[in-house]
């Protein structure tokens, strides 16, 4: 008898056959405003203008590396293995003392696509690897539906330690752990980032927005393009969100092909 995952994957593949050639339009994106008068002074590049991303900085990695505190030992680390070993032996927050295993990240260390989740769950805490439970299986199926193996991408989380009862990370926990993610980004140097879940998107982008407001467009993160969509665990709870997620990842795949052509 087919499993829930087979049903979900079949639905994704069916949607690909039906909608793969459509130009996707997000009805929630407001119409463009009338152009403002030209300001003779230089203006900052836009960050969240729908359907457009500012021109990448010539060195986005330096900009992201600068977000790591000056006194952090992360600044001098030169490999993911070195960072992972430090994370495994360092307590930055209370969760680092209560976890079973740190959940650092897994995948291609030179990946052009970085997938960022929110925090480990029980299965991840047990195995020390992100996205290994039911939601992880669904993430694998979604990636497969747009032509990626898990080994093609790198997968990480905002937090490296599991919050109790799978609650959302607290702001101080995010603040303590996100420099680790900044270091991962500077070492992997991805061309695109996919944030799955509202907490992942708001934590990385530093904004307080609904997922509905963030999805469907690319956001500029210091010169790297970021897509935000629903977490696979949310799709297991609410199948109605599969269609918008499918639209998001199709858009992501097309942009990936443009950037890596």
pLDDT at 13 over 70: no
Over residues 90-105, mean pLDDT: 97
Q: Is the pLDDT of residue 87 over 50?
A: yes
For 71, residues 6+ apart whose C-beta sits below 8 A from its C-beta are none
Residue 93 has pLDDT above 90, yes or no: yes
Which domains are assigned to the chain? 59-260 (3.40.470.10)
Distance CA 124, CA 101 (A): 8
Q: What is the pLDDT of residue 116?
A: 98
Residue 24 has pLDDT above 90, yes or no: no
Average pLDDT, the chain: 85
pLDDT above 90 as % of the chain: 76
Helix (H) or strand (E) holding 236: helix 232-237
Look-up of token digits 């109605």: 240
Say if residue 1's pLDDT is above 60: no
- What is the crossing angle of helices 4-19 and 134-145, to 10°? 20
Of 33 and 252, the structure prediction assigns the larger pLDDT to: 252
198: helix, coil or strand? helix
The pLDDT, as a whole number, for residue 5 is 44
CA 160 and chain centroid, separation: 14
Closest by CA position to 198, among listed 184, 213, 186: 213
């Amino acid at each position: 008898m087919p499993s829930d995952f087979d049903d979900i994957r079949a639905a994704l593949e069916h949607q690909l056959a039906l909608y793969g050639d459509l130009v996707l339009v997000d009805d929630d994106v407001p119409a463009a405003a009338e152009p403002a008068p030209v300001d003779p002074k230089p203006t900052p590049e836009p960050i969240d203008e729908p359907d457009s991303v500012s021109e990448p900085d010539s060195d986005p990695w330096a900009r992201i590396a600068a977000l790591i505190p000056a006194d952090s030992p992360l600044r001098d680390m030169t490999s993911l293995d070195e960072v992972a070993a430090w994370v495994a032996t360092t307590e930055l927050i209370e969760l680092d003392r209560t976890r079973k295993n740190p959940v650092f990240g897994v995948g291609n260390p030179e990946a052009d696509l970085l997938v960022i989740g929110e925090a480990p769950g029980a299965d991840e805490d047990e195995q020390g690897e992100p996205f290994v439970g039911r939601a992880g299986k669904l993430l694998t199926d979604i990636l497969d539906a747009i032509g990626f193996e898990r080994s093609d991408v790198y997968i990480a989380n905002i937090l490296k330690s599991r919050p109790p009862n799978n609650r959302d990370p607290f702001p101080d926990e995010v603040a303590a752990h996100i420099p680790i993610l900044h270091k991962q980004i500077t070492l992997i140097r991805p061309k695109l980032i996919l944030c799955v879940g509202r907490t992942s998107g708001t934590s990385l982008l530093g904004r307080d927005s609904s997922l509905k407001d963030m999805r469907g467009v690319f956001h500029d993160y210091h010169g790297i393009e970021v897509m935000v969509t629903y977490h696979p665990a949310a799709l297991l709870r609410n199948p109605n969100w599969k269609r918008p997620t499918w639209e998001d990842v199709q858009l992501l795949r097309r942009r990936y092909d443009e950037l890596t052509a």
